[in-house]
Structure 1
Amino acid sequence: MNRQDVLITIEKALSEVLERPITGLTEDTALFDDLRLDSSSVLGLLMTVEEATGIAVDPDDLDIDHLRTMRSFADYVEAALRREEVTS
């Protein structure tokens, strides 16, 4: 999965979780400030991305900084995908 695929997956997951079309996001889009995510929508986002990508989100690994922007969350997802490849 390349970077663009990761960003599209996150965008689709956000649309599903927020129950409204989410399009045209940039890597600088702030998930909390711009999209108004809250704790329950973050949980839904994580579960939806896990399902779409096959990664397992480890709560001990996840930090609020991973969820600040599209860029930081995409970086987290890419790192998790690399870990999955190594362990597969």
Structure 2
Amino acid sequence: MNRQDVLLVIEKALGEVLERPVDGLTEETALFDELQLDSLSVLGLLMTVEEATGISVDPEQLDIDHLRTVRSFADYVEAALREGEGPS
């Protein structure tokens, strides 16, 4: 899954969780400040992205900094995907 695929998964997940289109999303979009995410919508976002990508989000490894912007969350998802591809 390349960067563009990850961004599309995040955009689709945000649209589902927020129950509205998230047009104009960029990597600089702030998840809390601009999109008004709250703890419940973050949980929905994580579950939707997990389902779409096959990653498993470990709450102990997830930091608020991973959820500041679309870019930071995409970086987190890409890192989780890479970990899943490596040897176990």
Using structure 2 for the length normalisation, give the TM-score: 0.97
- Structure 1 runs of 4+ off > 6 angstroms? none
RMSD value, Cα: 0.9
> CA offsets per residue over residues 12-38 of structure 1, 9 Å max, x none?
000000001112211000000000000
**1:42 corresponds to which letter in structure 2?**
V
**1:83 corresponds to which letter in structure 2?**
E
**2:22 corresponds to which letter in structure 1?**
I
> CA offsets per residue over residues 51-82 of structure 1, 9 Å max, x none?
00000000011000000000000000000000
Q: Aligned residue for 1:19?
A: 19
Q: Aligned residue for 2:29?
A: 29
Structure 1 residue 82 and structure 2 residue 66: aligned? no
TM alignment of 1:57-76, pairs within 5 A: 57-76=57-76
| SS of alignment partner, residue 86 of structure 2 | helix
**1:32 corresponds to which letter in structure 2?**
F
**Unaligned stretches of 5+ residues in structure 2:** none
**Matches of 1:20 and 1:75, distance apart in 2:** 24
Q: Aligned residue for 2:55?
A: 55
**Matches of 2:43 and 2:31, distance apart in 1:** 13
Q: Aligned residue for 2:8?
A: 8
Q: Percent identity?
A: 81
Using structure 1 for the length normalisation, give the TM-score: 0.97
